[in-house]
Amino acid sequence: MFAPVNISGLVCPNNVFLAPLAGYTNYPFRELCRRLGAGLTFTEMVSCKGLLYGNEETKKLLVHGEESPKAAQIFGCDPQIMRAACEGEELAPFDLIDINMGCPMPKVVKNGEGSALMENPTLAEKVISECVKSGKRISVKFRTGVTEEKKITAEFARLCEGAGACMITVHGRTREKVYAGAPDYAEIAAAKNAVSIPVIANGGVWSKSDAEKTLAKTGADGVMIARAAMYRPQVFADIASTEPPPMKELFLRQLSETLALYGERFACVFMRKMAAFYLKGKPQAAENKRRLFSAQTTEEVALLAEEIF
């Protein structure tokens, strides 16, 4: 059930992936999840227009190391700009480029990007085929549809494969559901039955048993873990049946790596936020979160982590 997966010659050590998470999947967090057992990790979604115009904040999202395999996720709706980004030096180190066609956020959708492309299949197909011309491995992440009344999962899966995508990830909810409700396993299964490329199931995976259920119900080639990783990255170790290091050790290493890469202010704010996720469900979580968010330096955050984890 949990096994290596081959994506057009790219062999991932297992089929349990870390999803692209806007605002969270920076390099130190991706590395944390990879060390715990994630078979493939994705950057947070990166604007192709931002890359085109050399935006420094956009480039920061693509910080990486020597790890392999690694994937980047991009978004946009102009086929030529998307292809140019795939051909550019910023994306050159990545083994796989994923196109976001599932983001439900209004600021993305109103620009014709993210899940808006599911409503414009002609343009979606053109975007994929142009990106494929870059010579990079191209995958697509999308939803079951825009509304509950019109689910187009299998149809859109065939479109992606026909345009040259070498993998698809299906988030088993429509855009109108955002992240609410149970994923539609039948729709993911329909996508799996419609194509011959690997299909990754996304949505509702919080534990090893959830991952097993998802694979059993969908026949998918793998699962992608999103919000569960933010609350408990050890979920990857659970699925791999390995013993993770203590949370304190994991947190302090992530803090140190984040500080080294992004500087004091970012590291302090970001790691306070991560600590709040990691504390969920723990004794005295509310009080410890209050103390964390009053910390003004990474040194204070580290001292608190030594005490509370």
- pLDDT, mean of residues 109-134: 96
- pLDDT, mean of residues 195-214: 97
| Rounded Cα–Cα distance for residues 138 and 140 (Å) | 7
Residue 180 has what pLDDT?
75
Residue 251 has what pLDDT?
97
**pLDDT tens by residue, 153-171:** 999 999 999 999 999 999 9
Q: pLDDT tier at 52 (50, 70, 90 boundaries)?
A: confident
Residue 188 has what pLDDT?
97
Residue 29 has what pLDDT?
98
CA-CA-CA-CA dihedral for 144, 148, 149, 155, to nearest 10: 0
Q: What domains lie within the chain, and their CATH numbers?
A: 5-240 (3.20.20.70), 247-308 (no CATH)
- Nearest of 299, 242, 237 to residue 268 by alpha carbon: 299
Beta-carbon count within 10 A of 41 CB: 25
pLDDT at 178 over 90: no
Q: CB-based burial of residue 88 (10 Å sphere; 0-12 exposed, 13-18 middle, 19+ buried)?
A: middle
Residue 239 has what pLDDT?
96
Residue by residue, DSSP assigns the chain as: ----EEETTEEES-SEEEPP-TTT--HHHHHHHHHHT-SEEBPPPEEHHHHHTT-HHHHHTT---S-SS-EEEEE-S-HHHHHHHHHSTTTTT-SEEEEEE----HHHHTTT-GGGGGG-HHHHHHHHHHHHTTTS-EEEEEESEEETTEE-HHHHHHHHHHHT-SEEEEESS-GGGTT-S---HHHHHHHHHH-SS-EEEESS--SHHHHHHHHHHH--SEEEE-HHHHH-TTHHHHHHT--PPPHHHHHHHHHHHHHHHH-HHHHHHHHHHHHHHHTTTSTTHHHHHHHHHT--SHHHHHHHHHHH-
| Rounded Cα–Cα distance for residues 185 and 182 (Å) | 9
The verdict on whether 103 is a catalytic residue reads: yes
**pLDDT tens by residue, 84-103:** 999 999 999 999 999 999 99
Q: pLDDT tier at 1 (50, 70, 90 boundaries)?
A: confident
Of 12, 33, 103, 160, the catalytic one is 103
| Rounded Cα–Cα distance for residues 17 and 70 (Å) | 10
Q: Is omega for the bond preceding 69 within 30 degrees of 0, making it cis?
A: yes
Contact 140, 98 (CB under 8 A): yes
**pLDDT tens by residue, 206-237:** 999 999 999 999 999 999 999 999 999 999 99
- Nearest of 20, 150, 23, 131 to residue 77 by alpha carbon: 131
| Rounded Cα–Cα distance for residues 205 and 209 (Å) | 8
Q: Average pLDDT over the chain, rounded to whole? A: 95
- pLDDT, mean of residues 185-212: 97
